[in-house]
A and B are shown apart, each in its own frame.
Chain A
Amino acid sequence: MHARSRMWRHFDVWLLASVALLTIAGVAMIRSAIAGNETLAQNVPRQAIFGVVGLAIVVLTAAVDYRIWAALSRPMYIIILIFLALIPIAGRVGFGSARWFTVGILNIQPSELAKIITILVLAAYFARQKYEVQSTKILPRSLLLVFLPASLVLIQPDLSTAIVLVVLWLAMVWAVGLSLKTIGIFVLIGLVALLVLAPFLANYFTVDYPQEEDFFFLQHYQMQRVANFLFPDPQERFGASYNIQQALISIGSGGWLGQGYGHGTQVQLRFLKVRHTDFIFSAMAAEFGFIGALGFLVILMLVVHRCLRAARIARDLFGALICYGVAFLIFFQSAFNVGMNLNVFPVSGIPLPFFSYGGSSLISSLLGIGLVESVILRHKRIEL
């Protein structure tokens, strides 16, 4: 008991404060972005409840010794695979792809949970192989671990989550210390594969391609998004190009200090589409301006930094990899989402962690923070 209370001295208040701030700001921003839409209005209390539950989960997860997950990694992996496999059969169809289970009033999105479990499974695998990290066989084996959930996510179809999972694997392979030569060879193989595929894909990315045909696992709308990113049509009055145009106008109209909370004309008059999810960053930039957007990025960076700090001080490789994975996951998703808002990356459904509307995403992000806190609490062996 004494040891336990001593342990809590290491609890990273900075980290919790930052994510709490982001979560609260997110709920507030969603409230503004609803812009009088009655059907969306219920999303505000929902997100607030998810936030409260999520922050409780942070504390609960922190209390549990993270090393227990290493032991449970196998059953967790199998359960998440079963869930993902069940999605096409039992899932709820939303926006053309099945991603949710409906349990009561909750829509559970297993692919969000899959991100955290993948971190745990990979971290556990690498930690077990820690003396043979240079061995070439761990590369294909760990890839296989990611490949199964990623391909199940892909057939939903949810390309962006699949990409997140694969990139997450790449980042962890990098962090665990795989030799540069092995990584180099792997990247080379990837490039060759891309070059072989490119001529086939090129056909689909021409501007006047009807884009109603799917290309193997790529849905036509996914290709269209990439095509729109590469060859935008400035005259378009609707669709992805229109959305991104409106996002840029929203961001740009923010100026230094923004138009004020609840007063962004682009947001409140609903010129900006999907304001509370994909383009919430644009809504925030419109209402809080350059200073607000920069402040947001700084707080986000603070979260990532605290996680990476935990990765450095963790007492074992498993904990370090968990922290690194969570840090990378938050950063990668944030960067991709913000980059999409700024029209430097193509449009995708990757959420803005802690901020954009979505219960599963928020809970799984906070779950990740809970794991990081758990690692920090136990980083000094003596106190055990």
Chain B
Amino acid sequence: MHNDQGGKKLIAWRIDMTYAVMIILLGGFAIRLYDLQITQGEDFAARADENRFSALSVPAPRGVISDRNNFLLVQNIPIFNVVITPALLPDSLAEIEEIYRVLSSLTGVPIDQEGEPATRCTPGRGILQYVLEGDSIGPFDAWPIACDIDETTARIIREAMIDMPGVGLEILPVRDYTTGKLSASFIGYMGPISELNREFYEDLGFQAGRDKVGYAGLEGVFQDILAGRNGQKLIEEDVAGQLLREVGTVLQPTPGNNLRLTIDTRLQAAAETALAKRMEFINRSKGENASPIGVVIAMNPQTGEILAMVSLPTYENNRLARFIPQLYYQQLAADERGKPLINHAISDRYPPGSIFKLVTAIGALNEGVITPTRELFDPGKITIENKYFPNDPGKAKDFVCWKRDGHGDVDFVHGIAFSCNVYFYKIGGGFKGEIDSGGLGIDRIGWYAHALGYGNQLGIDLPGEEDGLIPTQDWKRRTQGESWSTGDTYNATTGQGYVLATPLQVLTSLSTLANGGKVMWPHLVKEILDGEGNVIEAIERCVLWDISDNILTPASEIGSNCNSMPESLRPQYDVTPDLIVEPWVIEQTQIGMQLVVAEGTASEYAQLEAISSAGKTGTGEFCDEVSQEKNLCEPGNWPTHSWYAAYAPYENPEIVVVAFVYNGGEGAVTSGPIVRQVLEAYFAFKSIDAANRP
């Protein structure tokens, strides 16, 4: 039975083989372990750290904006959001319901209300829905259920939080625009980082969803300067995203820099009041919203500093500060006529009317088309015959002066003073028998228009500056499919027809003539300061080009001497707008403008007491859809935009103002008083400041 042979024992070599297989396998495991733990150990340790550490962005405070007198226009204030961290809520459903009930009664957010999923802080759903959504995305993250609650409620909730695990109070900074609507058109507003440029901003350290960026105005253009740089904190989290501890601060947040503007808020308010009252008066007397748009800009012609910039209608940027309310935004965007989101001072273009006569004026004098003393006859109406049918009176066209019985014999300065159309038709487009050379002609009108700042951007430090339009013969061929006619030149000399300009360009033309020929870079930022108020950069004034300096600045060098001008704003020119204009030409034009106020078109409306000023009125005919519907677009019956631009004091100008009222009628009547009020306010504030200065 117990035979040693066969079957009693296991075969020894087969057990040995088993050992061999085991040793090989274990050896393999040991090698693999060595590879994982020793060779790749550091890599895996790094990946383990990557698992548990994450960087938490620490928001940098955004810079504030003040006006030239250090009055705060934009500051940061805290808002309070009630947040719930779903994972930290109590286990018992009854306790959770009690928490929801308390929060609902305090904040007014319903407990249970279905609604469309939307971005953070969009109201419309119940607490339950916000928490459920948050729980499914990140149970250890804090999810807002009520945003921007008032401070008192926030205090009550803070007290009650002790008994409400999972409930928190999030304090976020938001922009407070102290002057709101008054400065919205140039201050702008902020909004969330859109999906489109998310990557761009995230590379800069912004956190989409939390951080906002400038959308419009100075908030937009100076985004980089105002925003600062977010800091970074290293935190340790478990797999569910629960914060375990803060490991340390990797990067301290760099606060944004502050801006000090050239704007004088008092003047801004005075200008706004003057313009709004005037528009209101027109609209009330006409019984409709006849003049939806108005602009006032005030600038120092010596420095290019913008002192006031009013664009009506505008919007309340405080309403866009916390989140952008869809309804309000749609309402603003839907206003086709007023376009309140647009800064009409720089982003909209209109026929400049008679202010454009100054272009023809300096051109004709400088080119020798006319001499200052030579008088031309204004019969009230001149007729030009059709080029192709010279003897057919039916095809001839009449051009009338605004004064139907004419100004009689008119010299240069009185041509400007009375804004004599016929005088400018003749010197601009020529007139058989008197100006046989064909006048200045459209090509040269174009040169001089560009020389005064028309037809191109000026590089103002705001977004969306428009070019305007100075038509050429070539332009008409291309876009209208017609040849240029003398009539077109006549229209152009008076700023009608195809000529379009932004109010800023109109202002610049006046400013250039006022300061003796220097086209200044218009700007709103005076200084960039750090958090402690130290000036980091003082914005230097700069001359884009000077028409009186006997030097032609090449197109490529325009703005090259403007050290403070952000590169992105630098205007680009194909051909230099600079010309060489004799100083006496500018002087004669100034005399003409002084006469406008003294005895000319603006004399009854825009004269200042005790302070000399010079200006030019403009009444720009236009035809828009509204007037077309009313059959107003007939010759002699056209509606008109009202313009007036003036500078003071005449001898040493320190302020130049333009006022524009859409469909405002006569230039002097409507806009004259607005400009006068702004000038009066300016000098009143100046004397107050002088009295207050120790």
Q: Which A residues are within 8 Å of any B CB, using their own CB?
A: 127, 130-131, 133, 171, 174-177, 246, 248-256, 265-266, 269-271, 285, 289-290, 293-294, 297, 301, 304, 308, 311-312, 314, 316-317, 320-321, 324, 327-328, 331, 335, 338-339, 342, 344, 381
Contact = CB atoms under 8 A, between A and B. Distances in A.
B48 A317 contact: no
Contact of A269 (B22, B43, B238): B238
Interface in B347-403: none
B52 A252 contact: no
A301 B19 CA distance: 10
6 contacts: A130-B8, A131-B6, A297-B26, A308-B18, A317-B7, A335-B25
A344 B14 contact: no
B43 A312 contact: no
B44 interface: yes
The 7 closest A-B pairs by CB, nearest first: A252-B44, A130-B7, A253-B48, A269-B238, A290-B37, A270-B239, A253-B45
Contacts of A256: 37-38, 41
Given A174-B14, A252-B44, A314-B9, 14 more contacts: A127-B7, A133-B6, A177-B10, A248-B36, A251-B37, A269-B244, A270-B239, A271-B51, A317-B10, A320-B9, A320-B10, A324-B10, A327-B18, A335-B22
Interface string B29-43: 110111011101101
B51 A269 contact: yes
A296 B244 CA distance: 32
Contacts of A320: 9-10
Contacts of A316: 2, 8
Nearest to A258: B37
B691 interface: no
B690 interface: no
Interface in B219-262: 236-240, 244
A294 B238 CA distance: 28
A221 B366 CA distance: 91
A254 B238 contact: no
Contact of B36 (A130, A177, A251, A311): A251
A266 B22 contact: no
Contacts, number: 135
A330 to B, nearest CB: 11
Contacts of A327: 18
Interface in B31-70: 32-34, 36-38, 40-41, 43-45, 47-49, 51-52
Contacts of B30: 294, 297
Given A308-B15, A311-B15, A328-B18, A342 B38 contact: no
A161 to B, nearest CB: 20
A127 to B, nearest CB: 8
Interface string B11-28: 110110011001001101
Residue of B11, B19, B51 contacting most chain A CB atoms (<10 Å): B51
Nearest to B244: A269
Contacts of A175: 10-11, 14-15, 18
A289 B9 CA distance: 41
A301 B239 contact: no
B6 A250 contact: no
B7 A342 contact: no
A254 B38 CA distance: 9
Nearest to A251: B36
Nearest to A321: B10
Contacts of B44: 248-249, 251-253
Interface in B661-679: none
Interface residues of B, number: 40
Contacts of B244: 269
Contacts of B237: 269
A331 B19 CA distance: 11
A293 B10 contact: no
Contacts of B51: 246, 249, 265-266, 269, 271
A265 B52 contact: yes
B8 A338 contact: no
Given A130-B7, A320-B9, A177 B37 contact: no
B238 A285 contact: no
A176 B15 CA distance: 10
Most A CB atoms within 10 A — which of B2, B11, B15, B19? B15
Interface in B52-92: 52
A373 to B, nearest CB: 18
Contacts of B32: 342, 344
B29 to A, nearest CB: 6
A255 B38 contact: yes
A252 B29 contact: no
B6 to A, nearest CB: 6
B108 to A, nearest CB: 37
Contacts of A270: 238-240
Interface string B176-210: 00000000000000000000000000000000000
A293 B239 contact: no
Contacts of B25: 335, 339
A249 B7 contact: no
Nearest to A289: B37
B43 A252 contact: yes
B15 to A, nearest CB: 6
A177 B14 contact: yes
Interface in B627-683: none
Contacts of A249: 44, 47-48, 51
A293 B6 CA distance: 41
B15 A269 contact: no
A127 B29 CA distance: 35
Nearest to B43: A252
Contacts of B19: 308
Nearest to B28: A344
A131 B7 CA distance: 6
A314 B15 CA distance: 13
A255 B36 CA distance: 8
B41 A271 contact: no
Nearest to B41: A255
A321 B47 CA distance: 47
B11 A177 contact: yes
Contacts of A269: 51-52, 236-239, 244
Nearest to A293: B33
B52 to A, nearest CB: 5
Contact of B29 (A171, A174, A265, A338): A338
A269 B15 CA distance: 44
A253 B37 CA distance: 7
Nearest to B236: A269
A327 B22 CA distance: 11
A252 B41 contact: yes
A250 B33 CA distance: 12
Contact of A342 (B2, B33, B48): B33
Contacts of A252: 36-37, 40-41, 43-45, 47-48
Contact of A271 (B34, B37, B52): B52
Given A269-B51, A297-B29, A335-B25, A177 B7 contact: yes
A176 B6 CA distance: 10
A164 to B, nearest CB: 16
A317 B45 contact: no
A338 B238 CA distance: 26
Nearest to B7: A130
Contacts of A342: 29, 32-33, 36
Contact of A285 (B12, B33, B47): B33
A252 B44 CA distance: 5
Most buried by B among A253, A327, A338, A344: A253
Q: Which of B33, B44, B237 has the most CB of A within 10 A?
A: B33
A50 B48 CA distance: 33
A133 B6 CA distance: 9
A342 B51 CA distance: 19
A187 to B, nearest CB: 15
B240 A317 contact: no
A220 B52 CA distance: 33
A256 B41 CA distance: 9
